[in-house]
């Protein structure tokens, strides 16, 4: 009998070792090495895609100048949000990893996408659900398609045999953790199985110019299960975020070889599936009739899209010895920096106050242009005075208390004007190249934080 070969894999980074170690030499994590079977079948035959390949391409060494560029037009979906996040549509031959928490709506979104692709043959491979369960969900979505096919199978050998028969133009795999290859003897979901199955789909996608979507799971720590090696093998990584108790979902790009990694797609989940939100600024701002203290509106940019978001702050007297700093959707260290600027440059005693900060709508914002709105919300709550509801802010704050210029200021101003704001406060250093005559909104320019304080309060 052939000797069974095993190896130890780190469940965090995928590092492979011949023997067990308490600490992973690659990522430094403790007690993450797990033994897995890696006995491969020596008779493994290469997948033959000759009848599937475009122009019968073969693998051989070629000079760079000999490579002919073919026009690979992107496949556009009905979903404008997904097109934006992918960088302008589905690239032929790309392999896309989609990750998110259980129940967030990954399967619903891509079942809906597959049903809406009327002009392409779509194969939906499920290792988690039966045909009847997928049919029930499709009936609930209410979308009919003549070119949509199902395959409930976990063995990659059977899957590729069916692919050769059907020759689909788009493949959706739900999920990569349930698949198993006969060439690896470990159980489905293990590091070696995930790596082997993803490698087989990667080879298929590149050789046949067929786009493949791999739906993946999330670990308890919030990272993509199976672990970082899966992210390195694919072209694009999409993260589906949101709270299951709220209707809104955010599709974020973490890696994209064919477009920007700063794009964002927003969806609203209802009985008919995932509906793209065309104007997210309207849902991210609370519709209120009276002015409320501690609230300021910031004009930010996510990817190519301008957004207006609501910044909420609450400043209270500290009861305990050490004041609390509780933040949701914003960097805690950035908040501490802004509080230090107010202490040093403005003389406000936040050292004896509890500070709570929230970005409404569940967004996580890294754009420094919301600094000015954060300061305005903090001062509004500190003084217990409201900021007029028709004023918004766009500016970065430096350590000297100066208001710094931000990029793409005209897009921010245009978005504020579109939503009915009458004033926007920006840095005076943004005046270069800015034409105020183009806008009906009043543009107020300031250079320092104390100027803003005197103007508002």
Written as six digits, the tokens of 190 are 């293990």
> Annotated binding residue at 101?
yes
Q: DSSP assignment, residue 110?
A: H
> Annotated binding residue at 105?
yes
Written as six digits, the tokens of 338 are 């802004």
Instruction: Classify 348 as helix, strand or coil.
Output: coil
C-alpha to C-alpha distance for 77 and 113, rounded to whole angstroms: 7
Instruction: Classify 22 as helix, strand or coil.
Output: coil
Q: Which residue intervals of 268-370 are DSSP H helices?
A: 280-284, 332-341
C-alpha to C-alpha distance for 406 and 427, rounded to whole angstroms: 8
> Annotated binding residue at 102?
yes
Neighbours of 153 (CB within 10 A): 16
33-37 and 6-10: which strand pairing?
A: antiparallel
Instruction: Classify 81 as helix, strand or coil.
Output: helix
Written as six digits, the tokens of 404 are 């710094």
> Annotated binding residue at 100?
yes
Matching residue, tokens 């130890």: 8
Q: Give yes or no for a contact between 51 and 207, defined as CB atoms under 8 angstroms apart.
A: no
Please give the angle made by the CA atoms of 218, 221 and 227, to the nearest 5 degrees: 55
C-alpha to C-alpha distance for 95 and 249, rounded to whole angstroms: 23
Q: Give yes or no for a contact between 251 and 72, defined as CB atoms under 8 angstroms apart.
A: no
C-alpha to C-alpha distance for 241 and 103, rounded to whole angstroms: 11
> Annotated binding residue at 107?
yes
**Nearest CA to 272 among 422, 143, 134?**
143
Residues 6+ apart with CB under 8 A from 93: 72, 205, 206, 208, 209, 210, 211
Cis amide bond preceding 175, omega within 30: yes
The full length of the chain comes to: 457
Query: Residues comprising the binding site for ATP?
Result: 100-107
Query: Residues comprising the binding site?
Result: 100-107
């Amino acid at each position: 009998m052939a000797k069974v070969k095993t190896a130890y894999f780190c469940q965090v980074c995928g590092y492979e070792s011949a023997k067990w170690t308490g600490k992973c030499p690659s990522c430094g994590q403790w007690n993450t090495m797990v033994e897995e079977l890696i006995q491969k079948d020596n008779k493994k035959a290469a997948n033959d895609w000759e009848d599937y390949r475009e122009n019968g391409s073969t693998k051989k060494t070629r000079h760079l100048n000999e490579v002919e560029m073919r026009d690979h037009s992107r496949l556009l979906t009905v979903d404008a949000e997904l097109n934006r996040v992918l960088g302008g549509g589905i690239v032929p031959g790309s392999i896309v990893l989609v990750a998110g928490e259980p129940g967030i709506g990954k399967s619903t979104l891509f079942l809906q996408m597959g049903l809406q692709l009327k002009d392409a043959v779509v194969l939906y491979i499920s290792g988690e659900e039966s045909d009847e369960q997928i049919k029930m969900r499709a009936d609930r979505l209410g979308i009919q398609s003549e070119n949509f096919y199902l395959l409930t199978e976990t063995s990659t050998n059977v899957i590729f045999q069916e692919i050769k028969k059907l020759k689909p133009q788009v493949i959706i795999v739900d999920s990569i953790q349930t698949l198993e290859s006969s060439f690896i003897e470990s159980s489905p979901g293990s590091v070696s199985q995930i790596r082997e199955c993803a490698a087989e789909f990667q080879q298929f996608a590149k050789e046949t110019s067929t786009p493949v979507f791999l739906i993946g799971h999330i670990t308890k720590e919030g990272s993509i299960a199976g672990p970082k090696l899966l992210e390195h093998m694919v072209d694009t990584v999409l993260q589906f975020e949101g709270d299951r108790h709220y209707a809104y979902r955010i599709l974020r790009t973490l890696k994209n070889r064919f477009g920007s990694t700063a794009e964002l797609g927003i969806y609203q989940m209802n009985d008919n599936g995932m509906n793209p939100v065309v104007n997210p600024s309207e849902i991210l701002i609370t519709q209120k009739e009276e002015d409320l203290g501690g609230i300021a509106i910031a004009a930010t940019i996510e990817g190519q899209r301008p957004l207006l978001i609501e910044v909420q702050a609450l400043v209270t007297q500290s009861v305990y010895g050490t004041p609390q700093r509780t933040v949701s959707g914003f960097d805690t260290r950035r908040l501490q920096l802004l509080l230090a600027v107010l202490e040093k440059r403005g003389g406000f005693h936040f050292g004896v106050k509890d500070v709570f900060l929230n970005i409404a709508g569940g967004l996580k914002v890294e754009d420094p242009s919301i600094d000015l709105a954060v300061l305005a919300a903090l001062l509004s709550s500190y003084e217990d005075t409201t900021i007029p509801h028709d004023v918004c802010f766009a500016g970065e704050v430096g350590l000297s208390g100066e208001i710094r210029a931000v990029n793409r200021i005209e897009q921010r101003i245009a978005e504020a004007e579109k939503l009915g704001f009458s004033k926007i406060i920006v840095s005076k250093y943004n005046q270069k190249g800015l034409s105020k005559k183009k806008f009906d909104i009043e543009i107020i320019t300031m250079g320092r934080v104390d100027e803003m304080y005197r103007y508002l309060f």
